[in-house]
Amino acid sequence: QQQVKQSPQSLIVQKGGISIINCAYENTAFDYFPWYQQFPGKGPALLIAIRPDVSEKKEGRFTISFNKSAKQFSLHIMDSQPGDSATYYCAASRRGYQKVTFGIGTKLQVIP
Amino acid sequence: EAQVTQNPRYLITVTGKKLTVTCSQNMNHEYMSWYRQDPGLGLRQIYYSMNVEVTDKGDVPEGYKVSRKEKRNFPLILESPSPNQTSLYFCASSIQGLEAEAFFGQGTRLTVV
């Protein structure tokens, strides 16, 4: 049973467009939702994260939107650039615990 | 240079032959964790450790063991590897858990035949 469902699995966006990746979770005990970015041949890197006490968090061109009642959260990449081409993972964990569950990943390709 | 070092980078082994993948960090980080990455399944956490002698299971601990006898080292042990453990493995460390920036090793590509 996949506790964190991520879609789409692949995404192609034109340069300058908005990339949107969606995630949904089932365990209501989750209260920390990080996103990771992974370039080919590298380990994942923490990109941005949110807690359920806010509905949105923005860092530069990256924004997380969070809908607690729907148990959904999404990553928006504004003004997408070819350098954003990577695999993105959403994840979820519980406060005070260091166990993390990942989504399946989204391979983003930004074309010029 | 701050880094997480995994060894070996590549390993081909046979079913049932015990192996250890080493992970060492030089940043005095308390938190260390192991992940496996598989096509179509993404990343999954195997084990993590909050400090010396403190380890706990991630989502897919079956078939793996870990130990944390020293702060800098967190080896991953496969007592009896099977083909379904063929995967890309990453070790990571951070100063304090998931909410801090994690430093990842280069990855270990393991093939069990």
Q: Do A46 and B40 touch (CB under 8 A)?
A: no
Chain B hits for A48, CB-CB cut-off 8 Å, are none
Amino acid found at B82: S
Q: Is the pLDDT of residue A67 over 70?
A: yes
What size, in residues, is chain A?
A: 112
Residue A98 pLDDT: 84
Q: Cα separation of A17 and B113, whole Å? A: 44
Amino acid found at B80: S
Q: Do A105 and B42 touch (CB under 8 A)?
A: yes
Cβ atoms of residues B85 and B110 within 8 Å: yes
CA distance A45 to chain B (A): 7
Q: Cα separation of A43 and A46, whole Å? A: 10
- pLDDT one-digit tens code per residue, B67-104: 999 999 999 999 999 999 999 999 999 987 777 778 89
Interface test with B, best of A42, A98, A102, A106 (most B CBs within 10 A): A98
Q: Is the pLDDT of residue A1 over 80?
A: no
- Report the residue from B42, B43, B97 with minimal CB separation from A98: B97
Residue B38 pLDDT: 94
Q: Is the pLDDT of residue A9 over 70?
A: yes
For every residue of chain B, DSSP letters joined together read: ---EEEE-SEEEE-TT--EEEEEEESS--SEEEEEEEETTTEEEEEEEEEETTEEEE-S--TT-EE--SSTTB--EEESS--GGG-EEEEEEEESSSTTSPPEE---EEEEE-
> Helix (H, G, I), strand (E, B), or coil: what is residue A85?
coil
Residue B61 pLDDT: 97
- pLDDT one-digit tens code per residue, A17-60: 999 999 999 999 998 999 999 999 888 988 999 988 899 999 99
Q: How confident is the model at residue B40 (pLDDT cuts 50, 70, 90)?
A: confident
Considering only CA atoms, which of A76, A100, A70, A97 is closest in space to residue A88? A76
Residue A96 pLDDT: 72
- State the average pLDDT for chain A: 93
Q: Is the pLDDT of residue B62 over 90?
A: yes
Q: Is the pLDDT of residue A97 over 80?
A: no
Residue B99 pLDDT: 75
Residue B72 pLDDT: 97
Interface size between A and B, measured as CB pairs under 8 A:
57
Q: Do A102 and B43 touch (CB under 8 A)?
A: yes
Q: Do A104 and B56 touch (CB under 8 A)?
A: no
Q: Provide residues of B within 8 Å CB-CB of chain A.
A: 31, 33, 40-45, 48, 50, 56-59, 90, 92, 97-99, 101-102, 104-107
Which CA distances in Å does B83 have to A27, A86, B26, B58, B112? 31, 28, 32, 20, 5
Considering only CA atoms, which of B104, B46, B5, B110 is closest in space to residue A41? B104
